[in-house]
Amino acid sequence: MLLQSLTDGTGIANILMIVGMVAVFYFFLLRPQQQRAKKQKTFIESLTREMKVVTTGGMHGKIIDVSGETVTIEIDKGVRIKLDKTAIAYEAGVVAETKK
């Protein structure tokens, strides 16, 4: 009975279908997400003074100070806020890849 099911060929087809679904899942979901995360990490590491940015909350401002894991941005004259670097979404004036 076991030998008969192994030589039937349906077991191999099922395995190939599962492998195919895993490959599709990886290439259409996981890999693009990993690439976006890597690009965002590179962007966060490259933050510099005077750079105009947009936060994840939608506030626009200019970076005044970068220190450690935080940045200070000026959102209006005399209005400065200190944020974690990960709160910076993208550089102002540059269309975010997710907004295309």
Within 13 Å, how many C-alpha atoms sit on residue 62's CB side? Answer: 7
**Does residue 65 sit in the same domain as residue 84?**
yes
On the question of pLDDT at 5 being above 80, the answer is no
**Does residue 41 sit in the same domain as residue 53?**
no
Tokens of 83: 């944020």
> How far from each other are the two terminal CA atoms of the chain, in whole angstroms?
56
pLDDT (mean) for 35-63? 94
On the question of pLDDT at 3 being above 60, the answer is no
Taking the model in full, what pTM does it have? 0.66
Give the per-residue pLDDT at 13. 85
Residue pair 20/48 in contact by the 8 Å Cβ criterion: no
**Does residue 7 sit in the same domain as residue 28?**
yes
Does 1 or 72 have the greater pLDDT score? 72
**Does residue 60 sit in the same domain as residue 14?**
no
pLDDT (mean) for 26-44? 93
Give the per-residue pLDDT at 11. 80
Domain extent for 9: 1-46
Q: How many domains does the chain have?
A: 2
**Does residue 37 sit in the same domain as residue 54?**
no
